[in-house]
């Protein structure tokens, strides 16, 4: 089972079939978009939160850490934003993260469905 999964993963990396290429393109696009969103959210979090009262975001790294953990886990060891702009940014990031998870689930579902059709043919 693990060997088959590793083989499929390698096939996605090298785009062995059109189906594998399609999944690789989707994963790359999602990864690239998420990287861009993480950088933009880091900049915004730094600008919006660094002078807020009782904020824990004082440096660019603090903002990067907070934005990254919010996008990856919807939580952070840094407390919630204290400014209105930071709170709106947090809502956007949580909505984006939920959308990415749903998109990934759909992408993998489409991939496995198409692969099962190819294998049964």
* pLDDT tens digits, 48-85: 999 999 999 999 999 999 999 999 887 777 788 999 99
Question: What single DSSP character describes residue 80?
Answer: P
Q: Is residue 15 part of a domain?
A: no
- CA-atom Rg of the chain in angstroms: 19
Q: How many CB atoms lie within 10 A of CB 70?
A: 24
Whole-angstrom distance, CA of residue 24 vs CA of residue 70: 25
Model's pTM, two decimal places?
0.85
Is residue 85 included in any domain, yes or no?
yes
Q: Strand runs (DSSP E) across the chain, as ranges?
A: none
In a domain, 17, yes or no: no
User: What CATH number does the domain containing 92 carry?
Assistant: 1.10.287.70
What pLDDT score was predicted for residue 121? 75
Give the chain's domain count: 1
Domain housing 91: 22-120
Residue 8 lies in a domain: no
């Amino acid at each position: 089972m693990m060997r088959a999964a590793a083989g499929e993963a390698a096939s996605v990396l090298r785009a062995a079939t059109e189906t594998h290429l399609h999944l690789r393109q989707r994963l790359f696009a999602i990864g690239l978009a998420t990287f861009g969103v993480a950088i933009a959210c880091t900049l915004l979090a730094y600008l919006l939160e660094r002078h807020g009262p009782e904020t824990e975001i004082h440096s660019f790294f603090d903002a990067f850490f907070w934005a990254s953990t919010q996008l990856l886990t919807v939580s952070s060891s840094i407390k919630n934003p204290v400014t209105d702009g930071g709170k709106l940014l947090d809502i956007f990031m949580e909505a984006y993260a939920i959308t990415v998870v749903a998109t990934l689930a759909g992408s993998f579902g489409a991939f496995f469905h198409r692969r099962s059709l190819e294998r049964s043919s």
